[in-house]
Amino acid sequence: MIQLEVPLADRSYPVLVGAGVRHQLSRVLPAGAARVAVVTQASIPVPVDPGVEHRVFVMGEGEEAKDLSTVEDLCRQWARWGLTRADVVVAVGGGVVTDTAGFAAAVYHRGVAVVHVATTLLGQIDAAIGGKTGVNLTEGKNLVGSFWQPAAVLCDTEVLGSLPPREYRNGLGEMAKYAFLGVDGLTDLPLDEAVAACVRCKADVVGSDEREAGRRAILNYGHTLGHALETAGSYDLRHGEAVAIGLIYAAELALRLGRIDEDRVAEHRRVVAGYDLPMRVPDGLDSDEVISLFSRDKKAVSGVTFVLDGPQGVEPVRVEDPAILRAAFDAVR
Ligand SMILES: NC(=O)c1ccc[n+]([C@@H]2O[C@H](COP(=O)([O-])OP(=O)(O)OC[C@H]3O[C@@H](n4cnc5c(N)ncnc54)[C@H](O)[C@@H]3O)[C@@H](O)[C@H]2O)c1
Ligand SMILES: [Zn+2]
Ligand 1 and 119: CB distance under 6 A? yes
Q: Domain count of the chain? A: 2
> Has residue 189 been placed in a domain?
yes
Same domain as 165, residue 32: yes
Same domain as 188, residue 241: no
What residue numbers bound the domain in which 122 lies? 2-208
Q: Give the pairing of strands 13-18 and 152-156.
A: parallel
Same domain as 197, residue 63: yes
pLDDT of residue 81: 98
> Has residue 190 been placed in a domain?
yes
DSSP-derived letter for residue 155 is: E
Ligand 1 and 41: CB distance under 6 A? yes
pLDDT of residue 243: 97
Are 24 and 156 spatial neighbours (Cβ–Cβ below 8 Å)? no
Helix H or strand E encompassing 55: strand 53-59
Taking the CA of residue 239 as reference, the ligand 1 atom at the shortest distance is 15
Same domain as 154, residue 44: yes
pTM above 0.95, yes or no: yes
Helix H or strand E encompassing 229: helix 223-232
What residue's CA is closest to ligand 1, atom 8? 127
Residue 327's identity, in one-letter code, is: A
- The residue ranges of the chain whose pLDDT is under 70 are 234-235, 296-302
Q: Nearest bound ligand to CA 122? A: 1
Which of residues 186, 208, 230 is at a domain's end? Answer: 208
Exposure string over 246-278, b if 16+ CB within 10 A, otherwise e: bbbbbbbbbbbbebbeeeebebbeebbeebebb
Closest CA to 90 of 136, 65, 135, 54: 54
Rounded distance between C-alpha atoms, residue 19 and residue 124, angstroms: 13
pLDDT of residue 299: 53
> Has residue 275 been placed in a domain?
yes
Same domain as 152, residue 8: yes
pLDDT of residue 142: 95
pLDDT of residue 281: 94
Ligand 1 and 170: CB distance under 6 A? yes
Which of residues 177, 208, 239 is at a domain's end? Answer: 208
Helix H or strand E encompassing 317: strand 315-319
pLDDT of residue 232: 86
Same domain as 21, residue 127: yes
Q: For residue range 277-321, what is the model confidence (pLDDT) as tens digits?
A: 999 999 988 888 899 998 765 455 567 999 999 999 999 999 989
Catalytic residue list? 110, 132, 174, 202, 212, 216, 220, 223, 227, 239
Calculate how far, in angstroms, residue 298's C-alpha sits from the geometric centre of ligand 2: 22
> Has residue 215 been placed in a domain?
no
Same domain as 240, residue 129: no
Which of residues 208, 241, 272 is at a domain's end? Answer: 208
Q: For residue range 166-191, what is the model confidence (pLDDT) as tens digits?
A: 999 999 999 999 999 999 999 999 99
Ligand 1 and 142: CB distance under 6 A? yes
